[in-house]
Amino acid sequence: MIEFFLNGQRQRVASTPDTSILELLRGPLALQGTKEGCASGDCGACTVAIAHPQEGQWKNLPLAYRTANACITPAHQLQGAHLITIEGLARGDALHPAQASMVACHGSQCGFCTPGIVMSLFALHEQQRTAASQPLDAHRLEAALGGNLCRCTGYRPIRDAALSMNDHPDTRPPWANDPTLESELHGLSQSVVSESENQGGYQTPTTLAELIIAMQRHPEASLVAGATDLWLDVTQRLARFDTLIDLRQVEELRQIAETAEGWWIGAAVTYREWEPLLAEHYPGFAHLLTRLGSAQIRNRATVGGNIANASPIGDTPPVLLTLDARLRLAGPEGVRELPLESFFLDYKRTALEPDECIVAIYMPKPQPDHELRVWKLSKRREDDISTLLGAFRWRLRDGVLTDVRIAYGGMAAVPLRVTAVEDALEGQTPGEDAFEIAKQVLRDSLTPMSDARGSREYRLTAAINLLERWRLTLARADSNAPTPEVALDAYAH
Ligand SMILES: Cc1cc2nc3c(=O)[nH]c(=O)nc-3n(C[C@H](O)[C@H](O)[C@H](O)COP(=O)(O)OP(=O)(O)OC[C@H]3O[C@@H](n4cnc5c(N)ncnc54)[C@H](O)[C@@H]3O)c2cc1C
Ligand code: FES
Ligand code: FES
C-alpha cells in the first residue's frame, strides 16, 4: 500500500513495484490531465510536483514542491509525500497564476504540453515565494523550463507567461490553506512501511544495515534511487520488476558528511541537493549540473545512480576522476573503499559485487590554487546527454602546470583519465609547443567509437579541441574570468 496526499487529499492505494506515478494517475486515480508523450523523461508532458517532508531534512530545508517526470518515477516513491497534479491548482474558477498567465500570453495551442509546462511554472512560482529565492532571471527561467518541450506554440509566449505570473492575483491552490496538511504529511512520512505491508516487493530500508539485509534476502532485486536510468528499462525495454529496493530513505546514503579534507556525498543525494555545495566550492562542476538533464531529472536523480549506471557518457564520473574521488561500498562482508578510477572495468561493468551498493562518494576540498574546468558537448544545450565531456584540473605554480588531471567521457567504453596526456603536460609551461605534443599523445591514446551522437572522427577532433580550449583558457590574462560557458550564457541572454 502507498499512502500519500494527492492535491490535498489523503490517498491509500495498492500498486505493483514497477507502476509509475503516471500509470497510477491515469489508471486507478482517473486523473488524465497529466499527459504521456515520450515515456522516457524527455518531453515533460507528464510533469507533476512532489513535496516530501524527509527531503532536505538533514539541512532543515522547508517543504518544497519539486517537479518530476511522472512517467519514470515509481509510484511507491510517493509514500509520505504530497503529489500535486494539474487538477490541483485552480481554486474553483480562479486560476493559479501559472495558468492565468499562460492563458493571457497565448502560451498554448494543441495543449498537449500545457499541463506539464504549467506544473513547471507552478513549481517555479512556489520557489519564488521562499525568502531565499533569487529574482527570476532568464537563466533560472530556462533552467525551470528546459525539460518541457512544446511543438506548436513556440517558446516566446511561454516565456512571457513565466515572466508575467506575478501580474496575476496570487490565487493559492485549495490545499495550500489547509493548516493541518503539513503536520499530517510529516506524520505520514515518518510511518515506516514494514516488509509485510510492502505488498509486491517494494522494499524501503531506512538504514544501511536494513539495506544489506534486504539485498541478501532479495538477490534478484534491483536497487533504485531516482529511477531516471532504471525506469527506462520499464518504459522503453518493457522490463518487469517484481522486487525493487529503494535507496532514497537509507540514512547513510542521504547525507553529505564534511571532513577536514573533503566531503562524503551520500550516493542517494540528488543533484539538486548537491548543487549548493558545488556552487560554493567547485563552480565549474556546478555549472555542469545546469546542463545535466532537466530540472525534473536533477530534482530526483542521484550521483550514486550516475556512477553505478557506468555509462561511458555519464556526466559526473569524468569530473570526479579529475578530483581523485573515492567510493565507499558496502555489502555483507562489510565496508570497503576504492578509488573511483578502479571502479569502471569495461562497458557497463564495474568493480561492484552483486551484493554490494555504493554508500558514498568522497570529494576532496579544493586547494586554493587548484583550477577545474568542465566542458560538455551535446547536440542541445538543455536536457541532452553528452556526446563528449572533458574535465581538466590543474595547478599553476611559477608558470608551470602541476597536479594535472584530464578525464573524458564519451571517448571509450568507460569514463577515463588520459594519464599519458597528463604526463605530457605535467611540469610544462602551458604554451603552444607543450600542447601540440599533448594533442598528439591524445590522438594516439584514444580510439572512440562512432554512434548516433557522433562519429569517431568528430569525437577525436572535439576532444583535441577541448585541449586547445583549455590552453586558451590558461592563456587568458585573468584566469578567474568566467568560464567560456558562463560567458556564453551571459551573452545568450
Ligand atoms: C531525460 C533524461 C535526461 C538525462 N540526462 C542526463 C545527462 O545530461 N547526463 C547524465 O550523466 N545522465 C543523464 N541522464 C541519466 C540519469 O539521469 C543519471 O545517470 C542519474 O544520475 C541516474 O541516477 P538515478 O538516481 O536516477 O539512478 P537510478 O535510475 O535509480 O539507478 C541507475 C542504476 O544504478 C543502480 N544504483 C543506483 N544507486 C545505486 C547505489 N547507491 N549503489 C549501487 N547501485 C546503484 C540502479 O540499480 C540502476 O541500475 C538522463 C536521464 C533522463 C531520463
Ligand atoms: S511523458 Fe515525456 S517526460 Fe514523461
Ligand atoms: S501547445 Fe501543442 S505541444 Fe505545446
pLDDT, position 283:
95
Model's pTM, two decimal places? 0.94
Do residues 223 and 321 both lie within one domain? no
- CA–CA separation, 299 and 383 (whole Å): 13
Whether the per-residue pLDDT at 194 is higher than 80: the answer is no
CB-count burial class (<10 Å; 0-12, 13-18, 19+) for 180? exposed
Whether the per-residue pLDDT at 462 is higher than 50: the answer is yes
- CA–CA separation, 340 and 317 (whole Å): 8
Answer for the pair 204, 197: CB distance below 8 angstroms, yes or no: no
The three cell numbers of residue 429 are 609551461
The helix-helix angle for 97-104 and 114-129 (nearest 10°) equals 130
The three cell numbers of residue 88 are 490541483
383 lines ligand 2 (CB under 6 A): no
Q: What are phi and psi of 43, to 5 degrees?
A: -105, -25
pLDDT tier, 62 (very low <50, low <70, confident <90, very high otherwise) = low
Do residues 97 and 161 both lie within one domain? yes
46 lines ligand 2 (CB under 6 A): yes
Whether the per-residue pLDDT at 200 is higher than 80: the answer is no
Least confident of 369-373, 377-381, 431-435, 473-477: 473-477
Q: What is the pLDDT of residues 151-167, one digit of tens each?
A: 999 899 999 999 999 99
Whose Cα sits closest to atom 2 in ligand 3? Answer: 110
Residue range 190-208: mean pLDDT, rounded: 71
pLDDT, position 132:
64
Asked if the structure places residue 370 within a domain, the reply is no
Do residues 336 and 202 both lie within one domain? no
Burial 228-250 (b: 16+ CB within 10 A, else e): bbbbbebbeeeeebebbbbbbbb
Residue range 383-393: mean pLDDT, rounded: 94
The three cell numbers of residue 213 are 539485509
Do residues 186 and 72 both lie within one domain? yes
SS (H, E, C) the chain: CEEEEECCEEEEECCCCCCEHHHHHHCCCCCCCCCCCCCCCCCCCCEEEEECCCCCHHHCCCCCCEEEEHHHCEHHHHCCCEEECHHHCCECCECCHHHHHHHHCCCCCCCCCHHHHHHHHHHHHHHHHCCCCCCCCHHHHHHHHCCCCCCCCCHHHHHHHHHCHHHCCCCCCHHHHCCCHHHHHHHHHHCCCCCCCCCCCEECCCCHHHHHHHHHHCCCCEEECCCCCCHHHHHCCCCCCCCEEECCCCHHHHCEEECCCEEEEECCCEHHHHHHHHHHHCHHHHHHHHCCCCHHHHHHCEHHHHHHHCCCCCCHHHHHHHCCCEEEEEECCEEEEEEHHHCEEECCEECCCCCCEEEEEEEECCCCCEEEEEEEECCCCCCCCCCEEEEEEEEEECCEEEEEEEEEECCCCCCEECHHHHHHHCCCCCCHHHHHHHHHHHHHHCCCCCECCECHHHHHHHHHHHHHHHHHHHHCCCCCCCCHHHHHHHHHC
Domain with 465 in it: 382-488
The three cell numbers of residue 370 are 587548484
Whether the per-residue pLDDT at 9 is higher than 80: the answer is yes
The three cell numbers of residue 350 are 564495474
Whether the per-residue pLDDT at 477 is higher than 60: the answer is no
Answer for the pair 57, 116: CB distance below 8 angstroms, yes or no: no
Do residues 30 and 125 both lie within one domain? no
Phi-psi category of residue 69: left, alpha or beta, with phi > 0 → left and psi -120 to 50 → alpha: beta
Do residues 82 and 128 both lie within one domain? no
What CATH number is attached to the domain comprising 22? 3.10.20.30
Ligand nearest to the CA of 43: 2
Whether the per-residue pLDDT at 362 is higher than 50: the answer is yes
Domain-ending residue, one of 172, 198, 220 = 172
**Which atom of ligand 1 approaches the CA of 296 most closely?**
1
Strand partners, 134: none
Do residues 468 and 413 both lie within one domain? yes
Ligand 1 centroid, distance to 1 Cα (angstroms): 26
Domain-ending residue, one of 150, 172, 194 = 172
Do residues 83 and 232 both lie within one domain? yes
Asked if the structure places residue 435 within a domain, the reply is yes
Domain-ending residue, one of 229, 246, 263 = 246
Asked if the structure places residue 377 within a domain, the reply is no
Percent of the chain with pLDDT over 90: 82
With cell 578509488, the residue in question is: 339
Ligand 2 centroid, distance to 356 Cα (angstroms): 31
Whether the per-residue pLDDT at 303 is higher than 80: the answer is yes
396 lines ligand 2 (CB under 6 A): no
pLDDT tier, 490 (very low <50, low <70, confident <90, very high otherwise) = very low
Whether the per-residue pLDDT at 428 is higher than 70: the answer is yes
Q: What is the pLDDT of residues 99-154, one digit of tens each?
A: 999 999 999 999 999 999 999 999 999 988 775 667 788 888 989 999 999 999 98
- The side-by-side arrangement of strands in the sheet containing 82-84 is 9-13, 2-6, 82-84, 47-51, 66-69
pLDDT, position 488:
42
Q: What is the pLDDT of residues 275-296, one digit of tens each?
A: 999 999 999 999 999 999 999 9
Do residues 55 and 199 both lie within one domain? yes
Which residues fall within 8 angstroms of residue 49, CB to CB, at 6 or more apart? 65, 66, 67, 68, 83, 84, 119, 122, 123, 126
Phi-psi category of residue 427: left, alpha or beta, with phi > 0 → left and psi -120 to 50 → alpha: left
Least confident of 42-46, 188-192, 216-220: 188-192
Look over the chain and give the mean of its residue pLDDT values, rounded to a whole number.
91
> Which candidate, 18, 178, 174, 14, places its Cα nearest to that of 96?
174
pLDDT, position 61:
58
358 lines ligand 1 (CB under 6 A): yes
pLDDT higher at 1 or 4:
4
* Residue of 46, 228, 273, 383 to test ligand 1 pocket, by largest number of atoms within 8 Å of CB: 228
Residue range 261-274: mean pLDDT, rounded: 97
Asked if the structure places residue 294 within a domain, the reply is yes
Answer for the pair 391, 322: CB distance below 8 angstroms, yes or no: yes
- CA–CA separation, 320 and 407 (whole Å): 9
- The side-by-side arrangement of strands in the sheet containing 400-409 is 370-377, 388-397, 400-409, 416-417
Asked if the structure places residue 371 within a domain, the reply is no
The three cell numbers of residue 455 are 562519429
What CATH number is attached to the domain comprising 474? 3.30.390.50
Answer for the pair 1, 197: CB distance below 8 angstroms, yes or no: yes
Asked if the structure places residue 200 within a domain, the reply is yes
**Which atom of ligand 3 approaches the CA of 109 most closely?**
1
Do residues 144 and 208 both lie within one domain? no
pLDDT, position 59:
52
Percent of the chain with pLDDT over 70: 92
Number of domains in the chain: 4
What CATH number is attached to the domain comprising 164? 1.10.150.120
Asked if the structure places residue 260 within a domain, the reply is yes
The three cell numbers of residue 288 are 555542469
409 lines ligand 1 (CB under 6 A): no
Residue range 198-214: mean pLDDT, rounded: 88
205 lines ligand 1 (CB under 6 A): no
**Which atom of ligand 1 approaches the CA of 228 most closely?**
26
Whether the per-residue pLDDT at 173 is higher than 80: the answer is yes
Answer for the pair 20, 231: CB distance below 8 angstroms, yes or no: yes
- CA–CA separation, 374 and 482 (whole Å): 12
Residue range 31-40: mean pLDDT, rounded: 98
Whether the per-residue pLDDT at 186 is higher than 90: the answer is no
- CA–CA separation, 187 and 174 (whole Å): 21
Ligand 3 centroid, distance to 235 Cα (angstroms): 23
Asked if the structure places residue 425 within a domain, the reply is yes
Q: What are phi and psi of 122, to 5 degrees?
A: -60, -50
pLDDT, position 192:
54
Residue range 88-107: mean pLDDT, rounded: 97
17 lines ligand 1 (CB under 6 A): no
Do residues 130 and 158 both lie within one domain? yes
**Which atom of ligand 2 approaches the CA of 70 most closely?**
4
Strand partners, 341: none
Do residues 337 and 416 both lie within one domain? no
Residue range 198-220: mean pLDDT, rounded: 90
Residue range 336-355: mean pLDDT, rounded: 97
69 lines ligand 2 (CB under 6 A): yes
